[in-house]
Amino acid sequence: MAGNLTLTMIKPRAVEKNHIGPILGIINEHGFKIKAMKFTRLSKARAEQFYAVHKGKPFYETLTDFMSSGPIVAALLEHDNAVAEFRKLIGATNPDEAEEGTIRKLFAESMSHNAVHGSDSDENALIEAAFFFSETERY
């Protein structure tokens, strides 16, 4: 059975461009419940840890440099079939391929600066949730 949790980050460039409010608004309008949320900044080492599955890929350095370049918003979201439903809402990783109305179509600038992260599996959603939030930080 599909899980009901997914983890998102609003990435540094979207934070810098004051897109936190509009992005959270869309997330709420689509019925995702915020279970936990944090305005924080990843160190380079923490960004490398978060994206460890991509270690060795050509974009890993750029990605982890960018993700540690400024503050982010991390949020744990609840919805039926959360991972798939959230990926539908954010659109394709490459904003050029993202459907109209999706968060990445609206706010992303490029594959690296793609506005938001969304977990890619239930298993990773739980790992990513634990990366940011203790049990007492979840409501």
For ligand CMP, the binding residues (CB under 6 A) are 59, 63, 93, 111-112, 114, 117-118
- The DSSP H or E segment spanning 67 is helix 60-67
Q: Which of 30, 54, 79, 117 is catalytic?
A: 117
42 vs 63, which CB is nearer to ligand CMP? 63
Q: How far is the CB of 119 from ligand CMP (least distance, A)?
A: 8
Q: How far is the CB of 28 from ligand CMP (least distance, A)?
A: 20
Cα gap 95→106, rounded to integer Å: 9
> What φ, ψ does residue 76 adopt, rounded to 5°?
-100, 125
36 vs 42, which CB is nearer to ligand CMP? 42
Known catalytic residue at 54: no
**CA proximity to 125, closest of 1, 7, 37, 11:** 7
6 vs 114, which CB is nearer to ligand CMP? 114
| Burial (CB count within 10 angstroms: exposed 0-12, middle 13-18, buried 19+), residue 22 | middle
Which are the catalytic amino acids? 117
